[in-house]
């Protein structure tokens, strides 16, 4: 904990109000990303991963979304309530984001090279010629020949579009890259290539990364630390080794249980019983208690707080901390 934190999220609460129904998308989320570190944020669809990412960028659609409380500190600077002008400086220059679907993330009527150049021109005082040269370098860096600068997105495959997006996001050498399921829309072989590319660039630029995914395998491959998210809060976070080898939270256990294992011969996988709770009607106690095999009366009544089980390994469960 002695190293300086690049990004520090504390007790973040975000709600959406739709037709007078309040949807608790994120409840009391704590997350830290260190300088040059890669953190995986894992969770089911609807756990609030993307909402968290958008809140860091200051892009929560308001209305209906609202940041109720909490703080997001980037290099010690509070981002919640920051001026729009300051946020624009941060976006792309300090914190960049890659979106889920590369097919729709590029403007269809602009040349791909110009889209990279645009980001550079927005943030750096360069002449057009210099920016063009830099954009071409970025294209080469993500493995696309610079002579395709003049082409349009429809002439690119999905994997190449995602590479272009990565080039856009990294064009100004940001300190933090938020990748929101960057490989979900791609097929498996391309996924591997894109991940390798991201991991490689991260090394080169010393960029910290928040990788949002629901693929535990991907996390194990690229991340240093992992945070498991369930119904808007982090249930377990720690180093890859801690979480994968010394799993403490029943939900994380459930996630691993529902993955096929190459070494063991299992006839049936063990899925987690039940469904994600409705975020507009969360249970009173632990959000996972209705599906948890270990749930007790206390779990149903009281919300467990994250506690440090071993140094750096936090878990929000009454059973994990030996308080049974």
Partner 1 sequence: MSIFRKKNAKKGPMAEVWRKLKKNKWAMVSLFIIIFLILVALFAPLLCPYDYALQDYEHVLEVPSWAHPFGTDNFGRDIFSRVIFGSRYTVLIGFGCITVSAVVGIALGLIAGYYKKLDGLIMRSIDIVIGMPAMTLLMCLIAVMGISLRNMCIALCITHIPSFARVTRAQVLTLKNQEFIEASVALGANKKRIMLKHILPNALAPNIIEYSLGAGGVVLWSASLSFIGMGVQSPTPEWGLLISEGRQYLRTAPHMAIIPGLTIILLTFVLNYLGDGLRDAMDPRLNK
For partner 1, the binding residues (CB under 8 A) are 57, 59, 88-93, 96-97, 99-101, 104-111, 115, 118-119, 122-123, 147-148, 150-152, 154-155, 165, 168-169
The CA dihedral of 298, 28, 222, 207, to the nearest 10 degrees, is -160
Q: CB of residue 62 vs partner 1: minimum separation in angstroms?
A: 12
> Is the CB of 96 or the CB of 247 nearer to partner 1?
96
Helix 158-170 to helix 188-205 angle, to the nearest 10 degrees? 20
Pairs from 87-94 (Cβ < 8 Å, separation ≥ 24): 87/57, 87/58, 89/123, 90/58, 91/57, 91/58, 92/119, 92/122, 92/123, 92/169, 92/171, 92/172, 92/174, 93/123, 93/172, 93/174, 94/174, 94/175, 94/176
Q: CB of residue 41 vs partner 1: minimum separation in angstroms?
A: 17
Q: CB of residue 108 vs partner 1: minimum separation in angstroms?
A: 6
> Is the CB of 61 or the CB of 217 nearer to partner 1?
61
DSSP-derived secondary structure for 18-78: ETTEEEEEEEEEEEEEETT-EEEEEE-TTSSHHHHHHHHHT---TTTEEEEEEEEEETTEE
Q: CB of residue 130 vs partner 1: minimum separation in angstroms?
A: 18
Q: CB of residue 58 vs partner 1: minimum separation in angstroms?
A: 9
> Is the CB of 202 or the CB of 313 nearer to partner 1?
202
Residue 308: φ, ψ to 5°:
-85, 110
> Is the CB of 44 or the CB of 151 nearer to partner 1?
151
Q: CB of residue 106 vs partner 1: minimum separation in angstroms?
A: 6
> Is the CB of 168 or the CB of 218 nearer to partner 1?
168
Q: CB of residue 109 vs partner 1: minimum separation in angstroms?
A: 4
**Residue 108 gets which letter from DSSP?**
T
> Is the CB of 97 or the CB of 222 nearer to partner 1?
97
CA geometry: angle 167, 169, 191, nearest 5 deg: 65
> Is the CB of 89 or the CB of 258 nearer to partner 1?
89
- In angstroms, rounded to a whole number, what is the distance separating the alpha carbons of residues 149 and 146? 6
């Amino acid at each position: 904990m002695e190293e300086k934190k690049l990004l520090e999220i504390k007790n973040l609460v975000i709600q959406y109000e739709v037709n007078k129904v309040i949807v608790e998308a994120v409840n009391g989320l704590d997350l830290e990303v260190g300088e040059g570190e890669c953190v995986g944020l894992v969770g089911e669809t609807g756990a609030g991963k993307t909402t968290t990412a958008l809140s860091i960028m200051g892009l929560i659609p308001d209305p209906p979304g609202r940041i109720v409380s909490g703080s997001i500190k980037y290099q010690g600077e509070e981002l919640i309530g920051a001026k729009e002008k300051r946020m624009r400086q941060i976006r792309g220059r300090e914190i960049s984001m890659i979106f889920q679907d590369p097919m729709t993330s590029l403007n269809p009527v602009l040349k791909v090279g110009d889209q990279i150049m645009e980001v550079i021109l927005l943030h750096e005082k360069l002449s057009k010629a210099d920016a063009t040269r830099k954009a071409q370098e970025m294209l080469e860096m993500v493995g696309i020949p610079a002579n395709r600068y003049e082409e349009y997105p429809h002439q690119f495959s999905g994997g190449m579009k995602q590479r272009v997006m990565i080039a856009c996001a990294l064009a100004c050498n940001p300190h933090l890259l938020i990748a929101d399921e960057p490989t979900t829309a791609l097929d498996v072989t391309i996924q591997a290539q894109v991940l390798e590319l991201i991991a490689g660039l991260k090394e080169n630029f010393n960029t910290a990364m928040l990788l949002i995914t629901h693929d535990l395998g991907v996390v194990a491959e690229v991340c240093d630390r992992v945070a498991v998210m369930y119904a808007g809060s982090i249930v377990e976070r720690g180093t890859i080794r801690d979480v994968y080898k010394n799993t403490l939270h029943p939900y994380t256990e459930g996630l691993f249980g529902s993955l096929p294992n190459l070494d063991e011969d299992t006839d049936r996988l063990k899925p987690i019983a039940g469904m994600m709770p409705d975020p507009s009607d969360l249970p009173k106690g632990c959000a996972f208690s209705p599906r948890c095999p270990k749930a007790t009366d206390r779990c149903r009544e009281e919300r467990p707080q994250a506690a440090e089980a071993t140094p750096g390994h936090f878990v929000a469960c009454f059973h994990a901390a030996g308080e049974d």
